[in-house]
Amino acid sequence: MSNDVLAHLDVEKIRKQFPVLHQEVNGKPLIYFDNAATSQKPKVVIDALSNYYERINSNIHRGIHTLAERATSAFEDTRKKVSEFLNANEVAEIIFTKGTTESINLVASSFGRKFIEEGDEILISHMEHHSNIVPWQMLCEEKGAILKVIPINEKGEVIYDEYLALLSDKTKLVSIVYVSNTLGTINPVKEMAADAHKFGAKVLVDAAQAASHLNLDVQDLDCDLLAFSAHKAYGPTGTGVLYGKREILESMPPYQGGGEMIKDVSFSGTTYNEIPYKFEAGTPNIGEVVAFDSAIDFIQEIGKEKIAAHEDYLLEYANERLNKIEGFVPVGTAENKVSVISFNIEGVHPFDLGMMLDAKGIAVRTGHHCTQPLMDRFEIEGTARASFAVYNTTQEIDQFVEYLTSIAKTLRK
């Protein structure tokens, strides 16, 4: 890949849209390489959030006054935008949550408690985030079900033959991450869903890390459920999405009780609302949902293909330079991955690396990245993780490599 890839984007123009990038941290220009934790927000998203609270602020679905109607319209416009973003079959298949974690917990609580029975099996992979491990552990403990783990190889890739061997008539759910937040590995979720469906199992895809980089077409993937968070896709925090096929969502009981998720309430009984409102009890995070509409516009105006090409180029460029550093040990070298690099420097604790990089104005993530079982698989305590977004540059990577080389030499003496 050549610099021609960069010609597709005016990265400097894009950077100007992100106010947070134009500051110094510890006396150095900020280099933000923690995008796998949360991406920064363009001005259009910040302005949309401010505009909501300055001009629209009202509760939704329950009022007939002008502001209530404006708020409801803006909120539902985002639902429609998300539906198109995922190529859902219909708008009603989109549920708003506070993030991927709540979306997964919703499925575990609702689908799991209704359909999972003693002896049933749930499959997850060895690279899952804690939010796609712990809810299933809790459910299995409650139900007497069995949680099985799909193994991965030394590159950080699912061992597909082992996955196929785990599938059986006892498999009721496969919950799999699309892109590993720690390794960047892209899992073959379309193929995994097809094979799971042969045994009648349902498939939930954790797309938190995929939403800003990969094309998410739920009809093409044929997944039954899919979850992601706005804040990893240039949108606000506290906002997430759960997609589900209509027939599955309609079969699931409500997750929480309260306002909005009901049609009629009396002391003798309650009639629940239709989807998606059945799963949206109480006042939602209205302003942030409304602002997420602008984040989707931002992604689509640039184009996911161009975003992915730029980030893939940065990944290739960074890997080539980082692998020349003495003592550099990459963790996760899958053939198919996004712009996430987890690594260690021999003889240096990742926490020390992170602190010293921060002193130079470079933000990376250190630790186990909410994937402790994955760290155990590689027999390490944790890693440093650099992750790139559309606004990052090769010049920033050059600076990162220069500082990291100096740090490595100093701390390894």
Q: Which run of H or E residues covers position 409?
A: helix 394-411
Contacts with 311 (C-beta within 8 Å, 6 or more apart), sequence order: 213, 338, 339, 388, 389, 390, 392
Per-residue model confidence (pLDDT) at position 142? 96
**Cβ(58)–Cβ(65) under 8 Å?**
yes
Residue position matching structure tokens 């030394």: 154
User: Model-level pTM?
Assistant: 0.95
Per-residue model confidence (pLDDT) at position 337? 97
- Output b/e per residue, 174-185; b: 16+ Cβ within 10 A: bbbbbbbbbbbb
Residue position matching structure tokens 């539902």: 76
Q: For residue 153, what are the CA distances in angstroms to 53, 341, 368, 381?
A: 49, 17, 18, 18
Q: Which CATH architecture has domain 46-300?
A: 3-Layer(aba) Sandwich (3.40)
Q: Is 370 a catalytic residue?
A: yes
The ranges assigned to domains in the chain are: 3-38+303-411, 46-300
DSSP string, 8-77: G--HHHHHTT-GGGSSEETTEE-EE-BTTT-----HHHHHHHHHIIIII---SSS--SHHHHHHHHHHHH
Token pair listed for 288? 């942030």
Per-residue model confidence (pLDDT) at position 2? 43
Contacts with 104 (C-beta within 8 Å, 6 or more apart), sequence order: 131, 132, 135, 175, 204, 206, 227
Residues in the chain, pLDDT under 70 = 1-8, 259, 262, 265-266, 412-413
**What is the rounded CA–CA span in Å between residue 37 and residue 8?**
26
Token pair listed for 171? 């498999």
Per-residue model confidence (pLDDT) at position 112? 96
**Cβ(253)–Cβ(114) under 8 Å?**
yes
Helix (H/G/I), strand (E/B), else coil: 290: helix
Per-residue model confidence (pLDDT) at position 8? 66
Q: Which of 134, 370, 380, 411 is catalytic?
A: 370
pLDDT tens-place string over residues 15-61: 999 999 999 999 999 999 999 999 999 999 999 999 999 999 999 98
Per-residue model confidence (pLDDT) at position 367? 86
**Cβ(213)–Cβ(337) under 8 Å?**
no
Q: Which CATH number fits domain 3-38+303-411: 3.40.720.10, 3.30.70.890, 3.90.1150.10, 3.40.50.720?
A: 3.90.1150.10
**Cβ(207)–Cβ(227) under 8 Å?**
yes
* C-alpha R_g of the chain: 22
**What is the rounded CA–CA span in Å between residue 123 and residue 393?**
38
**Cβ(317)–Cβ(394) under 8 Å?**
yes
**What is the rounded CA–CA span in Å between residue 180 and residue 58?**
38
Per-residue model confidence (pLDDT) at position 266? 67
pLDDT tens-place string over residues 399-412: 999 999 998 887 76
Per-residue model confidence (pLDDT) at position 293? 98
**The residue type at 322:** L
pLDDT tens-place string over residues 323-350: 999 999 999 999 999 999 999 999 889 9
**CA angle 241–247–248, rounded 5-degree value:** 55
